[in-house]
C-alpha cells in the first residue's frame, strides 16, 4: 500500500463509492443490453417471419433469459440500495456477513477482469455487531481491492468470518502469485486503515502469505 | 461479394449477449461466430478469418484495447467495431488511433450495428481494391 501525505479519508471514501458505482453501472448496462437484445430477438423472429410452430421452445428460452437478467438486475439494485443505506448512521447493529456479501456482489466485476474468484467462508450464525458499517465495508474493500490489484490472473481470494469471545474476525485470504499491479489508483495506507479499525475497537494483523486478519469489537467503543 | 459472405466475429464475455447478438445478425444474412474473451478471439482469427470483429472492451484477462492492438498487428485488414458499455471519449480516441473502424455504446441498435458492419466490410474491400 502507498505511503500517504495527509490524504483525505473522505476523498478516499468517495473514490471507493465511485468505484462501486462504476462497477455497478457497467454490470447493469450489460444486463440491460442482454434484455434489449433478447426482446429484439423475439421481435426479429416474428417480424422477419422466421417462425414455425416448433419455435415455442425457443421463445420460452428467450423469455426465461429475460426473466433471469431482470432478476440479476433486481438483485444488484438491492445490494446497491443496502450499500447506500449503510451510510445512514455512523453506528448501527448489523450482520457482518451481510455487509460483506453485498460488498462482494459489488466488487465481483473488478475481480472478474482478472479472472480472480472471490469465495465466501462465513460462520453462518455469526452474532450481529454494533459498529460503523460503512467504515467496516470501506476497510474490507481497501484490502480486497489491493489484493485484486496485485494478484496474478486466475487467482483466488477467500473471505472468512468467525466470532470469538467479544469480537468478530474477518480474514481475507489470497491464493496466487502477487505481481506489481498496473493500476495507479490511490490506495489508503495500512496505518490509516489500522487507525480506523482501532477507533472501532479492533485491530488488523497482516498474516503469512499476505493474509489480512481484521478483528472487530462486537460493540464499538 | 454479397452480404451473406461477410464474416463477423463477436467478442464479448457476456455469453448471453454475444449469442443473442449473433442470432440477430445471422437473421440479417451475416455469417457470425462468437468468442468470449480476447485470447479466444485471437485464436479464432486464423481459423475463422473474420472480415469484421465486434469487440467489447472490458473483458476478463486481456482488455479489449490490447486485443484490438493485437488484431491490427496480426491481421491489419480486419475491421474492428468496438461495442462497449463503458466507453469514454478517451477510449474512443484510443480505439480509433489503433485502427478501430467505429466505436458504439451498449446497448446498440441492431440495424445501426448491421449497417456499420456492412460499411466496415465495404471499406475493407475498397482498400484491397
Report the first-to-last Cα separation within chain A, whole angstroms: 28
Q: Does B85 touch chain A if contact means CB atoms closer than 8 Å?
A: yes
Question: Does residue A167 carry a pLDDT above 70?
Answer: yes
pLDDT at B117 over 70: yes
Q: Can you give the residue range of the structural domain that contains B36?
A: 3-128
Give the residue from chain B lying closest to A113, CA to CA.
B60
Q: How far apart are CA A94 and CA A80, in angstroms?
A: 16
What is residue B3's predicted lDDT score, i.e. its pLDDT?
67
Query: Does A39 lie at the interface with B, CB-CB under 8 angstroms?
Result: no
| Residue span of the structural domain in which A64 resides | 1-221
Cβ–Cβ contact A153 with B under 8 A: yes
Cβ of B106 within 8 Å of Cβ of A44? The answer is: no
Q: What is the C-alpha to C-alpha distance for residues B88 and B106, in angstroms, rounded to an integer?
A: 12
- Render pLDDT for A58-81 as a digit per residue (tens, 0 to 9): 889 999 999 999 999 999 999 999
pLDDT band at A181 (very low <50, low <70, confident <90, very high): low
Give the confidence band of A53 by pLDDT, cuts at 50, 70, 90. Answer: low
Q: What residues form DSSP beta bridges with A159?
A: A120, A172
pLDDT reported for residue B2: 64
Q: Decide if A203 contacts A194 (C-beta within 8 A).
A: yes
Nearest-by-Cβ selection for B60 from A22, A50, A114: A114
Give percent above pLDDT 70 in chain B.
97
Q: Given the DSSP bridges, would you call strands A129-131 and A92-94 parallel, antiparallel or unpaired?
A: antiparallel
List of chain B residues whose C-beta atoms are within 8 Å of the C-beta of residue A34: 14, 16-17, 20
Q: Residue A75 and residue B26: Cα distance in Å, rounded?
A: 32
A184: pLDDT strictly greater than 80: no
Among chain B residues, CA nearest to A33: B107
- Residue to mutate among B10, B12, B24, with most A CBs inside 10 A, is B24
pLDDT over 70 (residue A182):
no
CATH number at residue A63: 3.30.565.10
**What value does the mean pLDDT of chain A take?**
88
Sheet with B31-35, side-by-side order of all strands:
B31-35, B7-11, B52-55, B79-84, B102-105
What are the pLDDT digits (tens) for A133-160? 999 999 999 999 989 988 999 999 999 9
- Distances in whole angstroms, Cα of residue B7 to Cα of each of A48, B76, B78, B93, B114: 21, 16, 10, 26, 12
Query: What CATH number is given to the structural domain containing B51?
Result: 3.40.50.2300
CA contacts within 13 A on the Cβ side of A79: 25
Q: Is residue B58 within 8 angstroms of chain A, CB to CB? A: yes
Contact B60 A113 (CB under 8 A): yes
Mean pLDDT confidence for A186-206: 85
Question: Mutate which of B10, B13, B16, B67 to test chain A, going by most A C-beta atoms within 10 A?
Answer: B16
Q: Say yes or no for a CB contact (<8 Å) between B107 and A29.
A: yes
| Domain tally, chain B | 1
Smallest CA–CA distance, residue A29 to chain B, in Å, is: 6
Can you give the pLDDT at residue A56?
81
- CA distances B28 to A59, A104, A185, A193, Å, are 19, 40, 43, 56
Predicted-complex ipTM score? 0.87
Q: Can you tell me the distance from the alpha carbon of A58 to that of A55, in angstroms, rounded to the nearest whole number?
A: 5
Provide the domain count of chain A.
Answer: 1
Cα dihedral across residues B6, B120, B18, A47: positive or negative: negative
Residue A41 to residue B23, Cβ atoms within 8 A:
yes
The helix/strand/coil state of B74 is helix
B128 confidence band (pLDDT: 50, 70, 90): confident
- The model's pTM is 0.84
Amino acid at each position: 500500500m502507498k505511503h500517504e501525505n495527509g490524504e483525505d479519508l473522505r476523498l478516499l471514501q468517495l473514490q471507493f463509492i465511485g468505484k462501486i458505482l462504476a462497477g455497478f453501472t457497467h454490470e447493469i448496462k450489460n444486463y440491460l443490453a442482454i434484455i434489449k437484445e433478447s426482446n429484439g430477438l423475439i421481435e426479429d423472429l416474428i417480424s422477419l417471419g422466421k417462425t414455425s410452430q416448433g419455435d415455442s421452445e425457443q421463445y420460452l428460452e428467450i423469455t426465461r433469459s429475460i426473466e433471469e437478467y431482470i432478476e440479476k438486475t433486481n438483485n444488484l439494485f438491492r445490494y446497491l440500495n443496502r450499500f447506500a443505506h449503510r451510510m445512514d448512521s455512523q453506528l448501527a447493529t448489523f450482520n457482518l456477513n451481510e455487509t460483506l456479501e453485498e460488498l462482494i456482489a459489488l466488487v465481483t466485476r473488478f475481480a472478474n477482469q482478472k479472472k480472480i474468484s472471490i469465495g465466501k467462508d462465513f460462520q453462518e450464525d455469526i452474532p450481529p455487531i454494533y459498529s460503523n458499517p460503512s467504515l467496516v465495508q470501506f476497510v474490507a474493500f481497501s484490502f480486497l481491492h489491493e489484493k485484486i490489484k496485485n494478484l496474478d490472473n486466475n487467482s483466488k481470494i477467500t473471505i472468512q468470518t468467525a466470532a470469538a469471545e467479544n469480537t468478530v474476525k474477518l480474514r481475507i485470504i489470497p491464493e496466487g502469485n502477487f505481481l506489481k499491479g498496473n493500476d495507479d489508483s490511490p490506495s489508503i495506507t495500512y496505518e490509516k486503515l489500522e487507525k480506523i479499525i482501532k477507533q472501532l475497537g479492533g485491530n488488523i494483523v497482516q498474516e503469512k502469505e499476505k493474509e489480512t486478519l481484521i478483528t472487530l469489537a462486537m460493540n464499538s467503543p | 461479394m454479397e452480404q451473406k459472405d461477410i464474416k463477423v466475429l463477436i467478442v464479448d464475455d457476456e455469453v448471453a449477449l454475444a449469442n443473442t447478438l449473433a442470432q440477430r445478425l445471422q437473421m440479417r444474412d451475416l455469417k457470425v461466430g462468437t468468442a468470449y474473451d480476447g485470447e479466444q478471439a485471437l485464436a479464432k482469427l486464423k481459423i475463422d478469418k473474420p472480415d469484421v470483429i465486434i469487440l467489447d472492451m472490458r473483458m476478463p484477462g486481456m482488455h479489449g484495447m490490447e486485443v484490438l492492438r493485437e488484431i491490427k498487428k496480426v491481421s491489419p485488414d480486419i475491421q474492428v467495431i468496438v461495442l462497449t458499455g463503458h466507453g469514454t471519449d478517451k477510449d474512443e480516441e484510443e480505439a480509433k488511433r489503433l485502427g478501430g473502424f467505429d466505436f458504439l455504446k451498449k446497448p446498440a441498435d441492431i440495424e445501426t450495428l448491421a449497417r456499420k458492419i456492412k460499411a466496415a466490410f465495404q471499406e475493407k474491400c475498397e482498400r484491397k481494391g
